[in-house]
Structure 1
Amino acid sequence: METSNQVIDLLVVGGGTAGIVGAKTASRLGAHVVLVERARTGGDCLWTGCVPSKTLLSAAAGAAGAGMNPARTAGPASAGSDFSTVRERIAAAIAAIEPDDSPASLEAAGVTVRHGVARFTGFGQAEIDGQQIRFHHALVATGSDPAVPPIPGLDRAPVVTSETVWDLTELPQHLVVIGGGPIACELGQALARLGASVVMLVRSRILPKEDADAADIVRASLTQDGVQIIEGAVVEGVTTSPDGMREAVSRVRVGDGRTFPADTILVAAGRKPRTEELGLELVGVELDEKGYVRVDNAMRTSNPMIWAAGDVTPNPDFTHLAGVYASTAASNAVLGVRRSVSSVIPRVTYTSPEVAAVGITSPEGRGQRVSTIQHAHTDRAITEDQIDGFTRLVIDKQGRILGGTVVGPRAGETLGELTLAVHQKLTTRDLAGVTHPYPTYNDGLWNAAIADARTALEKPLVRTAMSGLVRLTRWRATRSSPARG
């Protein structure tokens, strides 16, 4: 077995967002970095996640706007015949972004890229396709896979996940979506807008982690787009017949006995970490009960030489979080520091309308309050006839912004300012005191802050103090008046 005598500063296992950002960060700091990827660099975000899904959503929004959705028109849409065009657009978007995540880009940043399978074999040691290497530190960034629940008959049905849905060459005629989270809602709405008949089977309610009022708006929007949503549904089994590929060959059965036809079943019911066969048990890296790599707030594992970031950890599986946390892990490793990651984590569900949230989204303690602006009172929303939304802030008794939710077009763009406000512990008076451009959807955030600041001024003690200040100013003006001379 071949052995390398050189000791690597940082071994990065995985070439997705976390691995790429972590490797480039460490290399820029002067470290010798080797990144190992078993398939292709770019990870889920580039190939099966953010890039293709947001391109699909954009294409579907255009289709809905052009009247191609059969839920909005009298006859069948031409969307099925245009699905090849949508696929071409997705491929073009991936091709445009792929060079930034390519091995060439990593090599240009000073990172050595190895294609192969890495496995830890001992403390400070790993094996890459038979070659033993040594390292000072390692970053585990192997990501996660879609989880497929053990539903009877599902293994014989035409199933796709968020990874394999992009392999479809034709638009499904009868799509059943199992799940009600962001992926289920985004893909279900997009494919319905393109012309598919879509049924969503949701165990609890859609978007269970989001504000209930936000979920209500998304539910109404999906329904308007033709999606049939069955909440509180437990999928008990799937039966599949061997008849034609384009017919509804499967029927999905729920607990109350109803069945739903499907030529395609999209399973969007969570994910599972890629930690098998890494040899983590050989080097003392602890996993949690679901198999995720345990990390502290500096992204270090139970082995002080090994760090982890991205979907392989229990942290929320967001691309932006993977990059930020991997950068922190890499710099901590190669510089010997212990910087902690921020606990302020923004998230966006890219349905129409979008749901964007950060921090505390409903009052959790004494003295906390909310300030809500309905977008029916936001001028930009009125001018664009997009009033189904709101901006809601959660505020503590000192007036600090703890978090909030924005529902509406481009809500994710507004969330940046709200995230900064939460991170910097700004008050509603701070936000209200900043001049904002008009008219924008961001007016909802500003007006929610203004409304809360004005409410504070209505408190009896504050009103008394302000009244006294007004009387003092009036008296001073009278004393300095030329008429007194």
Structure 2
Amino acid sequence: MRAMKMDHQVIVIGGGAAGLYATAGLARLGVDVAVVNADANMGGDCLHYGCVPSKTLLHMAQETTDWTEIQAKMRAVIAEIQVHDSVPRFEELGATVYIGKARFLDAHRIVVGDRELCAKKFVIATGSRPRVPNVAGLDVSMYETNETLFQMAKLPRKMAIIGAGPVGLELGQALQNIGVEITIFDHNTEFLKHFSRDIADIALEKLDLAIHLDSELIEVTRLNKDEISLKITESGVEKTLVVEKILFAAGQIANIDTLELERAGIAYDTKIDTNRYLQTTAPHIYAIGDVIESPSLTHAGGAEARTALTNIAFGNFSKVNYSTLASVIYTKPEIYQLPATQKATRILSASGANIDRFKTDNEPEALVKIGIDAKAKIVHAEAIGTDISTVMQQVALLKSTGAKLTDLSKPIYPYPTKSEILKNISDQLLTEKLEKPFLQRLIRKIIQWRGLS
């Protein structure tokens, strides 16, 4: 191949959370890097349509039912964070910013608008968009997604949410708290199927949402300017429901269809194929975030961005350790999960009924479960409780260092705090060890020798 004049050493395609993380990291290392974003409002789905506005809504829904006030707060929070993700900030870091949609011409060239750019390496981080199913009778006036919901001038009185995952549950609870009558439908036959049944059962009861499982939306009919009729099958039985709007919260589609990846020699199906170093089938092109087969979480994209920029700058040696990648459903109560890396030999648990701070906060149903291996090292964890995610990251830290569950008994915990639930679980294991006959005999001999019996 003839030598090309490189406009930049690295071009990051996508200015969402993952893409900006990679861009900032490379710029700080002194790499000649550019980032391409479809418009000047960088920050991606998380800032504009996902994490930030949804968590603001969840908080504000506990304080007011005034939708206008809630929207104003969401806009204010987004604007405050936007400064960190703005074009001027990244230019100050030393990155070049291009505004427009990118597509590949070949393995080293892209087009942004009418401008051709050449680079030695690329990072694809174009994110994803909400999946809207093909349903008979459905048109855009009938539904919202997380990309449009927060801009609604007026909320509907009744809304059906399709999808009982994190987005559907969080938005469903928040909207119900501010006066919208919510009904949720999900195709799965089990609620929160990746969680243990006791955690899922507590969640189903405490969320207090009308959730219908084994359900599928098959047809929508406009009744009048305000109302639509939904035809739904639930466990094979056809039912109807009249609402004003549908909110689709049933998955995302990777934004890769306009990139012309085949021109660059990049293999893909619904998402881009990558190896453990996050290289695509074109080794100088990396992919991160929602465009690859990994958890569609902002913090996962951040970890992947850190890995990709490390490999670009220093050579391919870094891999993402997904074993400590926790996920949280930010409802009230929160639902937390730290994934399993292997099968646990046993699972220990503690409930809020045994912890004083959970008693004072009237949360006896709070539950923490920790799986360990034969050496008492942490394999996985899950929990449910108000603000439980802030408690559980101690467990993720121990798992990342290979420490034992009993290490949770070492700190002196402030009283009363919810963190004591971790000490309770750890103490269970320590107590078992102390009650072994050999240790009991040894302790009795020491007590006798010291004249204390």
TM over 0.5: yes
Distance 2:432 2:276 in 1: 37
Counterpart for residue 69 of structure 1? none
Distance 1:388 1:195 in 2: 26
For these two proteins, the number of residue pairs brought into alignment is: 445
CA contact (8 A) 1:158 1:265 kept: yes
Q: Please say if 1:341 is aligned against 2:320.
A: yes
Q: Please say if 1:61 is aligned against 2:62.
A: yes
Matches within 5 A, 1:44-443: 44-63=45-64, 79=65, 82-155=66-139, 158-204=142-188, 205-223=190-208, 227-241=209-223, 243-245=224-226, 248-254=227-233, 255-288=236-269, 291-344=270-323, 345-360=325-340, 365=343, 368-443=345-420
CA RMSD of superposed structures (Å): 2.0
Q: Deviations over 1:90-129 (max 9, x none)?
A: 1111111110111111112111111012112122222222
2:380 alignment partner, SS class:
strand
CA contact (8 A) 2:49 2:150 kept: yes
Q: Classify 1:328/1:238 alpha carbon distance in 2 versus 1 (closer, same or farther; 3 Å).
A: same
Distance 1:355 1:430 in 2: 24
CA contact (8 A) 1:157 1:238 kept: no
Q: Deviations over 1:29-68 (max 9, x none)?
A: 11000000012210001000000000000011224xxxxx
Could you tell me which amino acid in structure 1 is paired with residue 5 of structure 2?
A: N
Could you tell me which amino acid in structure 2 is paired with residue 238 of structure 1?
A: V
Q: Deviations over 1:368-407 (max 9, x none)?
A: 1111101111111111112231111011111111111121
Distance 1:249 1:124 in 2: 49
Q: Deviations over 1:262-315 (max 9, x none)?
A: 111001111110111212111121114xx1112222211111100011111111
5+ residue gaps, structure 2, are none
Could you tell me which amino acid in structure 1 is paired with residue 247 of structure 2?
A: L
By how many angstroms is 1:475 displaced? 6.4
Counterpart for residue 440 of structure 2? 467
2:225 alignment partner, SS class:
coil
2:167 alignment partner, SS class:
helix
Distance 2:310 2:7 in 1: 18
Distance 1:455 1:152 in 2: 60
By how many angstroms is 1:249 displaced? 3.0
Q: Which aligned runs of 4 or more in structure 1 are off by greater than 6 angstroms? A: none
Counterpart for residue 72 of structure 1? none
1:441 alignment partner, SS class:
coil
By how many angstroms is 1:186 displaced? 0.6
Identify which range, 207-216 or 315-324, moves more after superposition. 207-216
CA contact (8 A) 1:172 1:196 kept: yes
Distance 1:437 1:299 in 2: 42
1:58 alignment partner, SS class:
helix
Could you tell me which amino acid in structure 2 is paired with residue 293 of structure 1?
A: I
CA contact (8 A) 1:201 1:229 kept: yes
Distance 2:444 2:425 in 1: 30
2:34 alignment partner, SS class:
strand
Identify which range, 229-238 or 23-32, moves more after superposition. 229-238
TM-score for the superposition, normalised by structure 1:
0.87
TM-score for the superposition, normalised by structure 2:
0.93
Q: Deviations over 1:176-225 (max 9, x none)?
A: 011110100111111011001111112223322223222222211232xx
Distance 1:167 1:24 in 2: 30
1:351 alignment partner, SS class:
coil
Percent sequence identity over matched residues? 30
By how many angstroms is 1:156 displaced? 5.9
Q: Which has the larger radius of gyration?
A: 1
CA contact (8 A) 1:373 1:392 kept: yes
Q: Classify 1:86/1:19 alpha carbon distance in 2 versus 1 (closer, same or farther; 3 Å).
A: same
Matches within 5 A, 1:442-457: 442-457=419-434
